[in-house]
């Protein structure tokens, strides 16, 4: 879920689900994306499935299949919906059944599911139309769960990364200073928008917010492998990306060649009501 700028001198930010050129830019290097992007806490998967009516899962914005494979490992039958054919092809090679479409345009053809999930993807879906379609394809008692990773760089590294990005990308529609201090509080507006969309669409009980805290250690090379998969960098010209990575690599080297990242995986979830 991107952080949008607040400065009036920058162009107004579009709703994320309308920024299709960004939403469909992650497939430029699906191998890197799948290799570098972190997985989700097992406790999240278990909570989604715990009270559900069954194990048929629809994965929205399945990407390379990271979420789908985790639910498959938990014993689920998973269908992915993914707008980028490059990402879908990678997921299929990993054993995930995928249909290529945006969720809003996807045809369920009468199929229903016990859970609709979206990892790092629901902000690319219209919040009301997406929730309404989820209600349409969920069985009574089925759960919609949209979730994201929020990360917190060590303060010194965060400030260094922000300065490097601002120099290399002065016109980028991202507030790198705010992003360098990312915490769950910065995601509250987005999570509220998801919950509001669920309420407006109807067919669900009250939305809940969940949070799972964890940490991961990164070497310099591991972090530089991940950075190009983030939305701020997927469409950068190669020379600008190289400039950013060189600067960030030097900053990580100055910290001893590695660091520990604090993560929170946050989710908005709601159960389809019997009356939907």
Tens-place pLDDT, residues 178-194 = 665 556 667 788 899 99
The predicted model gives 212-228 an average pLDDT of 96
For residue 59, give both structure tokens.
């994965």
CA separation for the pair 119, 232 (Å, rounded):
18
CA torsion, ordered 203, 206, 209, 210, to nearest 10 deg: -90
pTM score of the predicted model:
0.88
Residue 116 pairs with which residues in a beta bridge?
A: 58, 144
Instruction: Please state which CATH class domain 16-152+180-215+263-272 belongs to.
Output: alpha beta
Q: For position 10, what pLDDT does the model report?
A: 38
Contact 45, 147 (CB under 8 A): no
For residue 186, give both structure tokens.
């910065």
Contact 210, 269 (CB under 8 A): yes
The predicted model gives 164-191 an average pLDDT of 75
More confident residue, 115 or 27: 115
Write the secondary structure of the chain as one string of H (helix), E (strand) and C (coil).
Answer: CCCCCCCCCCCCCCCHHHCHHHHCCHHHCHHHHHHHCCCCCHHHHHHHHHCCCCCEEEEECCCCCHHHHHHHHCCCEEEEEECCHHHHHHHHHCCCEEEECCCCCCCCCCCCEEEEEEECCHHHCCHHHHHHHHHHHEEEEEEEEEEEEEEECCHHHHHHHHHHHHHHCCCCCCCHHHHHCCCHHHHHHHHHHHHHHHHHHCCECCCEEEEEEEEEEEEHHHHHHHHHHCCCCCCCCHHHHHHHHHHHHHHHHHCCCEEEEEEEEEEEEEEECCCC
Residue 272 pairs with which residues in a beta bridge?
A: 204
Above 90 in pLDDT, residue 45? yes
Mean pLDDT of the chain: 88
Q: For position 30, what pLDDT does the model report?
A: 95
Above 70 in pLDDT, residue 67? yes
Lowest-confidence region among 123-137, 150-164, 210-224, 258-272:
150-164
CA separation for the pair 72, 67 (Å, rounded):
9
Tens of pLDDT along 110-136? Answer: 999 999 999 999 999 999 999 999 999
Lowest-confidence region among 69-73, 114-118, 160-164:
160-164
CA separation for the pair 53, 115 (Å, rounded):
9
Tell me how far CA of residue 86 lies from CA of 26, 34, 63, 140, 175, in angstroms: 9, 12, 9, 34, 29
Above 60 in pLDDT, residue 276? no
Contact 146, 118 (CB under 8 A): yes
More confident residue, 143 or 17: 143
Nearest in space to 149 (alpha carbons), one of 271, 4, 5, 263: 263
Q: For position 11, what pLDDT does the model report?
A: 38
Neighbours of 218 (CB within 10 A): 19
How does strand 208-219 pair with strand 258-271? antiparallel
Q: For position 184, what pLDDT does the model report?
A: 65
């Amino acid at each position: 879920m991107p952080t949008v700028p607040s400065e009036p001198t920058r162009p107004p930010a579009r709703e994320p689900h309308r920024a299709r050129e960004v939403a469909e830019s992650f497939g430029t290097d699906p191998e890197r994306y799948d290799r570098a992007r972190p997985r989700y806490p097992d406790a999240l998967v278990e909570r989604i499935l715990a009270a559900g009516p069954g194990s048929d899962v629809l994965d929205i914005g399945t990407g390379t299949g990271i979420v789908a494979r985790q639910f498959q490992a938990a014993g689920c039958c998973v269908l992915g919906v993914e707008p980028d054919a490059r990402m879908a092809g990678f997921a299929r090679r990993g054993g995930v059944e995928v249909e290529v479409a945006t969720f809003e345009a996807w045809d369920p053809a009468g199929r229903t599911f016990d859970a609709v999930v979206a990892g790092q993807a629901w902000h690319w879906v219209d919040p009301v139309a997406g929730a309404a379609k989820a209600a349409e394809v969920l069985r009574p008692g089925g759960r919609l769960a949209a979730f994201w990773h929020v990360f917190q760089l060590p303060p010194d590294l965060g400030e260094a990364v922000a300065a490097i990005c601002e120099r290399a990308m002065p016109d980028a529609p991202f507030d790198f200073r705010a992003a360098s201090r990312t915490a769950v509080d910065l995601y509250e507006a987005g999570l509220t928008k998801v919950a509001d969309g669920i309420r407006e669409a109807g067919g669900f009980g009250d939305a809940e917010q969940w949070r799972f805290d964890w940490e991961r250690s990164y070497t310099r090379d591991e972090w530089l492998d991940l950075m190009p998969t983030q939305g701020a960098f997927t469409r950068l010209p190669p020379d600008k990306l190289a400039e950013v990575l060189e600067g960030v690599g030097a900053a990580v080297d100055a910290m001893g060649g590695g660091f520990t990242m604090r993560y929170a995986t946050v989710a908005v979830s709601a159960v389809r009501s019997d009356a939907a």
